[in-house]
Amino acid sequence: MNINPASETLSEDQRRFYTEQGYLQLDSFVGTGWLSRLKAAAAEFVEMSRAETRSGKVLDLAPGHSAETPRIRRLNSPVDHHETFRAFAIEGPAAALACDLLGGPVRFHHSKLNYKWSDGGEEIKWHQDIQFWPHTDFSPLTIGVYLDDVDDAMGPMGVLPGSHTGPLYDLYDRDGNWAGAMTDEDIATLELDRMAWLKGPAGSVTIHNCCMVHGSVPNNSSRPRPLLLQTYSAMESYPIGNIGANSVRTGLAGTVIGGPASMTLTIDGRSMRGAPDWSQRGGASPTIFGSQQKDGDQPG
């Protein structure tokens, strides 16, 4: 799928920094036109939430939510619910950044909008992303956009530089239950004084690798901290099915951005051409008999 160029391109120093440190922060990267559209789209879902009394597939509501005082934790898969979010992630600046950093084309995985409401909006405990949606490599990255100015009081995202090349931590608790966060014992081994807190003006972009240790503290300010997030991988990177979020992906998941899809794969240094994506042709996949004998069993 074709994309529009980002408002500016990354420098070699920025690409090198991402490779070495596992993250980037780009202040005021998203221009006023896109930012206005994204903020307006985000506001539409705040208004929609006033009619909701409990969390559903679209909106995750925080305790204390009401029509008079909405409190939203997350808009799930915004690309599937509003054209502005779809265009930004699939054709706009976020897609262009992903192609730049990963050498494009890239494969879209998912998106979300974390509102992190004011006056105590939830913390995000220390974790890594890749355990939530394992892939066949560690190329996936997540691009975030702050829709409003973010300062220390608002719970900006914190990342531990260089941790993307370190251990992959177990995100289960002591009883073997999925917790989605690191244990206290593992957190005690981190150099938390090296944490980089990615605050900045509206339109600032955060980028972090899927293995980066990151999280955020509660938002104790009087303003929400909306952070729009979209995740991409290299085109030859594939999500492993039936694990975590990979089992519940939505319509645009797997979209190839920045060039044509390729059936050529390289695994353990060995290359091959895979079969076509039959889901794009309609009907059932052909049997080996239909493919080999060309007897009409193969979808056209």
Domain range annotation of the chain: 12-262, 263-300
pLDDT lower than 50: segments of the chain: 1, 5-7, 297-300
Q: Annotate the chain with three-state secondary structure.
A: CCCCCCCCCCCHHHHHHHHHHCEEEECCCCCHHHHHHHHHHHHHHHHHHCCCCCCCCCEEECCCCCCCCCCEEEEECHHHCCHHHHHHHHCCHHHHHHHHHHCCCEEEEEEEEECCCCCCECCEEEECCCCCCCECCCCCEEEEEECCCECHHHCCEEECCCHHHCCCCCCECCCCCECCCCCHHHHCCCCHHHCEEECECCCCEEEEECCCCEEECCECCCCCCCEEEEEEEECCCCECCCCHHHHHCCCCCCCEECCCCCCEEEECCEEEECCCCHHHCCCCCCCHHHHHHCCCCCCC
| pLDDT value of position 149 | 95
| pLDDT value of position 218 | 87
| pLDDT value of position 9 | 77
| pLDDT value of position 260 | 85
| pLDDT value of position 133 | 96
- pLDDT, tens digit (0-9, with 9 covering 90-100), for 37-58: 999 999 999 999 999 999 999 9
CATH T-level assignment (fold) for domain 12-262 = Jelly Rolls (2.60.120)
| pLDDT value of position 7 | 44
| pLDDT value of position 118 | 83
